[in-house]
Amino acid sequence: MSLSENARKLACLAILGTGVAIAGCQVRPLYSEGSTGKPALALASIEISDADDRVEQDVRNALIFLTSGGAGEPTNPVYHMALNVTSTANGVLYDQESDTAGAARVVVRADYNLTQTATGETVRSGNRSAVALVDFSKQEFAKLRALRDAEKRAAKELAEIIRADIAAALGR
């Protein structure tokens, strides 16, 4: 037996082994049933609680868009999501001479509880967070606008994280 024959047999065994390993895999796509499947219909039937502030409204709007595919809130919701969002900005790169921060780390956190409307049974609850970084300008208005933009970026990212978590729970 030559070295090339051994290499060929080893390659065949590796391919066969990989095929067997993949055949036993239990992973399936989240939307395996298409846009009319169970996860998509369940996501489209979620009512989200009213917002208390601007950042919570940003998360709520993004969640409504992501869960309904842009169709808005459902008229007859099957699920209700209680949502509580907080936002904090912590200065970093502190300049001692000017007594100001040159950048900030914006953290948007959400606590949520998804319940069935009919029974009140909790389907999924949790807390998630998203971070956005921002650089500050010397101008005060530009600084405020940069903070608001960072909050919007973090809110959108947080909504995507929550949607993925809820879609996984509803897909089971």
pLDDT at position 3, please?
A: 60
- For residue 148, being part of any structural domain is answered with yes
- For residue 144, being part of any structural domain is answered with yes
Buried b (16+ CB within 10 A) or exposed e, 79-88: bbbebebebe
Q: How many domains does the chain have?
A: 1
**Taking the mean position of all CA atoms in its chain, how far away is CA 150?**
16
State both tokens at 44. 């489209």
Q: What single letter denotes the amino acid at residue 87?
A: S
- For residue 108, being part of any structural domain is answered with yes
Q: Which domain holds residue 114?
A: 35-170
State yes or no: pLDDT of 143 exceeds 80: yes
Tens of pLDDT, residue by residue over 89-113, are 988 877 777 767 788 899 999 999 9
- For residue 132, being part of any structural domain is answered with yes
User: Residues 100, 127: contact at Cβ < 8 Å?
Assistant: no
Tens of pLDDT, residue by residue over 9-51, are 888 888 877 766 666 655 555 555 555 557 778 888 999 999 9
State the Cα–Cα distance between residues 88 and 24, nearest whole angstrom: 45
pTM attached to this predicted model: 0.76
State the Cα–Cα distance between residues 144 and 133, nearest whole angstrom: 14
- For residue 140, being part of any structural domain is answered with yes
- For residue 24, being part of any structural domain is answered with no
- For residue 146, being part of any structural domain is answered with yes
> H-helix or E-strand containing 114?
strand 100-116
User: What CATH code is carried by the domain that includes residue 72?
Assistant: 3.30.160.150
- For residue 28, being part of any structural domain is answered with no
Task: Please return the burial class of 131, using the count of CB atoms within 10 Å of its CB with bins 0-12, 13-18 and 19+.
Answer: middle
Report the 3 state secondary structure along 51-106: CCCHHHHHHHHHHHHHHHCCCCCCCCCCEEEEEEEEEEEEEEEEECCCCEEEEEEE
Residue 98, SS3 per DSSP: coil
| Mean pLDDT calculated for residue range 45-74 | 92
